[in-house]
Amino acid sequence: MERSAVAPAAGVALIALGAAALPLVTRDSYYLDVATTILMNLTLTMSFRLQVSTGQINMAHISFMGIGAYASALLVTRAGLSFWATLWIGALVAALLAVPIGSVALRVSGPYYFLITFAFSEVVRLFFNNFFEGLFGGPSGLVGIPKPGRLLGLVFDGKLALYGLMAVLCVVVVLALVRLDCSRFGLTAGAIRQADLVAETLGVNVFRYKLTTFVLGSFVAGLAGVFFAHYRQVLHSSDFGLEPMVLLVVFTVIGGTGSVWGPVVGTILMTIASELLRELHHYEILVFGAVLILTMLFAPEGLVALPGAARRLLRRVRARTTAPAGAGLAP
Amino acid sequence: MLLELRGVSRRFGGLQAVADLSMTVAPGSIHGLIGPNGAGKSTAFNLITGVIPLTAGEILFKRERISGLRPSEICRRGIARTFQATALFREYTVLQNVLVGAHLLAAPGLGPALSWSRSYRERERQARERGETLLHSLGLGAVASQVVGQLPHRDQKALALAMALATGAELVILDEPLAGLTDQEKAETTAVLRRLREQRITVLLVEHDMKAVMGVCDTVTVLDHGVRIAEGTPREIQANPAVIEAYLGAEEPGA
């Protein structure tokens, strides 16, 4: 695991270049829509992986996206605030709520943490669905959310402009998270995942680290949620329910959580696959479930680890075939 | 006194693992904690380092109460430890393991990492240099870039000690530092412990190898069934009838 800063910088530059190059190839609104979804999902999976890197599987991650989305939608439609303010306010609301929730959930670990966060995500979903119907729209959803509007003389209502906005947000998030991963923060996070008690006795306040990643991840999820609200212009509680959460886990895990590039590969491949499987509707999750099981069985470290695994296998095969006869005998 | 235990007790359900234990560790000494299996030695270590809470009593380090603090805070005050079953970050290289140990002396936290400032990079560079120097001094220089999972046992033991030292601790607590080593390797490790004493780093250790304990320790405390039955110099301990009776039995001490 090399932690120099050159390869990560090149990776981020590649994502930025790819995102910038797409409109030169096509301005078809369908492709722009898929690309925007990829970038939105990538923002989510990268922030989810930040938490996974300290060993947390936070099943409420999607809920913080929802909290950011609903907060911004209401502040714009009810309080008349500008999208450019609620973009940050929505993310901050998600982060602020993450402090008490994380403080409770992180008292436990492993399967209990998984269960507590899962329970919380259902509470949030049911809350948006069943309470304050006049505010959240209830089962029929919250509609009439305006597009972002003007900033610095640019109008953000077309597919291309919104794609550009999401691309900028995503690249900034990826840059920050990649930088974190390559830094001492990432080193410490990985140490916590491998052996939290040893890290703690070496002076690492494990709880504080986990809470930091929980809150920071929630901030980023909230940011993606705000964009989602004003991009789709309609919110349903099921947008932040179990099914999208499972997809978020699948997207992140299939690529591999060992490196920051796992979620990148997984998200791009799986979002495209999800588009191709669109006709299956709710059955697509069956396909993703199967893909997840196959990945866990045959490539537990994710797709990005496959080249390395193949190389090791090849070297072992080669070593066996070229070993001289009788090499195992004692002299 | 550097470390002081006052009436420390720990009960697991019906088992009194440590009972009313009082002991002191003098600064700059090598202090051995011995006793038969189940005497409460490892529990005592877990209590001192905050890994498990006390049922009664208190622990002071440099005259300040440390019992009740988080393990990370106890480490920040100057106590680091190793574990009996050598515990390392197995996916990391040897140097990365030591860098985690240098957590407190480097630039921890979110802000410095995100800003990637000059002072952050400078502190990280210094941590890396200190880590490399430390690894060389413990004979691990050649394996610094190897992943820990494949290291020989001796190197894993040495690395665990290096990580504890990297925290900048004044007191290192070693749980069986010699277990599983050859005689040659044991001699090397005890030489390292003496070198630490010269650097005024205090060592508290649990060890089953009586010959090594009696050879290297300044003071020895003997536990049996969670109770302290003797404390003194190795010579006094070897002559103590209670120790011979309860712990060494019919065996000749130092055999």
How confident is the model over B55-109, as pLDDT tens digits?
999 999 999 999 999 999 999 999 999 998 878 999 999 999 999 999 888 777 7
Count of CB atoms situated within 10 Å of the CB of A307: 9
Mutate to test the interface with A, among B103, B116, B123, B146 (most CBs of A within 10 A): B103
Place of tokens 């359900």: B13
Name the residue among B6, B34, B11 with its Cα closest to residue B21: B6
Q: How far is B2 from chain A (nearest CA, A)?
A: 19
Q: How far is CA B58 from the centre of its chain?
A: 19
Is-contact B128 B190, C-beta < 8 A?
Answer: no
Is-contact B140 B153, C-beta < 8 A?
Answer: no
Residues of A with CB below 8 A from B113's CB?
179-180, 183-186
Longest dimension (CA), chain B: 65
Is-contact B243 B237, C-beta < 8 A?
Answer: yes
Residues of A with CB below 8 A from B134's CB?
none
CA dist B101 and B120 (Å) reads 17
Tell me the mean pLDDT in the region B158-175: 95
Of the candidates B75, B91, B114, which has its C-beta nearest A202's C-beta?
Answer: B75
Domain borders along chain A are: 6-241
Domain(s) of CATH 3.40.50.300: residues in chain B: 1-78+171-249
Q: Output the DSSP codes for B72-127.
A: HHHHHHTEEE--SS----TTSBHHHHHHHHGGGTS--SHHHHHHT-HHHHHHHHHH
- Mark out chain A residues that contact chain B at CB-CB < 8 A: 1, 3, 5, 176, 179-180, 183-188, 190-191, 194-195, 197-207, 212, 216
pLDDT of residue A118: 94
The token pair that represents A157 in the structure block: 């209502």
Name the residue among A263, A261, A265, A283 with its Cα closest to residue A274: A283
Q: How far is CA A168 from the centre of its chain?
A: 16
Of the candidates B100, B107, B109, which has its C-beta nearest A199's C-beta?
Answer: B100
Q: How far is A159 from chain B (nearest CA, A)?
A: 32
- CB–CB contact A204 B103 (8 Å): yes
pLDDT of residue A325: 46
CA dist A105 and A325 (Å) reads 58
CATH of domain B1-78+171-249: 3.40.50.300
pLDDT of residue A5: 56
Is-contact B193 B30, C-beta < 8 A?
Answer: yes
User: Which residue is closest to B52 within chain A, CA to CA?
Assistant: A197
pLDDT in tens, B240-254: 888 887 765 645 544
B212's CB contacts (< 8 A; 6+ apart) are B178, B186, B190
The token pair that represents B66 in the structure block: 């440390």
Mutate to test the interface with A, among B45, B82, B89, B122 (most CBs of A within 10 A): B89
pLDDT in tens, A117-142: 999 999 999 999 888 888 888 888 88
Is-contact A11 A178, C-beta < 8 A?
Answer: yes
H-type alpha helices, A131-233: 133-136, 159-182, 184-194, 196-201, 206-232
pLDDT of residue A331: 37
B248's CB contacts (< 8 A; 6+ apart) are B210
The β-bridge partners of B5 are B23, B59
Count of CB atoms situated within 10 Å of the CB of A111: 9
- CB–CB contact B103 A203 (8 Å): yes
Is-contact A102 A161, C-beta < 8 A?
Answer: no
CA dist A246 and A287 (Å) reads 12
A224's CB contacts (< 8 A; 6+ apart) are A40, A43, A44, A47, A65, A68, A169
CA dist A122 and A105 (Å) reads 14
R_g of chain B, CA atoms, integer Å: 19
| Count of H-run helices and E-run strands, chain B | 10, 10
Q: How many residues does chain A have?
A: 331
Q: How far is A305 from chain B (nearest CA, A)?
A: 14
Tell me the mean pLDDT in the region B112-135: 87
Low-confidence ranges of chain A (pLDDT < 50): 1-3, 324-331
The β-bridge partners of B230 are B222
Name the residue among A167, A169, A149 with its Cα closest to residue A158: A149
R_g of chain A, CA atoms, integer Å: 22
Mean pLDDT across chain B: 90
Angle in degrees, CA A262, B108, A65, rounded to 5: 45
ipTM: 0.90
CA dist B223 and B7 (Å) reads 14
- CA atoms in the 13 A half-sphere facing the CB of A260: 27
* CA quadruple B193, B195, B197, B199: dihedral sign: negative
The token pair that represents B230 in the structure block: 């003797």
- CB–CB contact A202 B92 (8 Å): no
Residues of A with CB below 8 A from B109's CB?
185, 212
Q: How far is A67 from chain B (nearest CA, A)?
A: 24
Mutate to test the interface with B, among A202, A219, A301 (most CBs of B within 10 A): A202
Percent composition of chain B: helix, strand, coil (DSSP 3-state, to 5): 45, 25, 35
Name the residue among B5, B71, B17, B68 with its Cα closest to residue B41: B17
pLDDT of residue B249: 60
The token pair that represents A180 in the structure block: 């974190």
pLDDT of residue B245: 79
Tell me the mean pLDDT in the region B137-150: 91
Q: What count of CB pairs under 8 Å joins A to B?
A: 103
- CB–CB contact A202 B96 (8 Å): no
A118-127, B34-43, B200-209: least confident range? B34-43
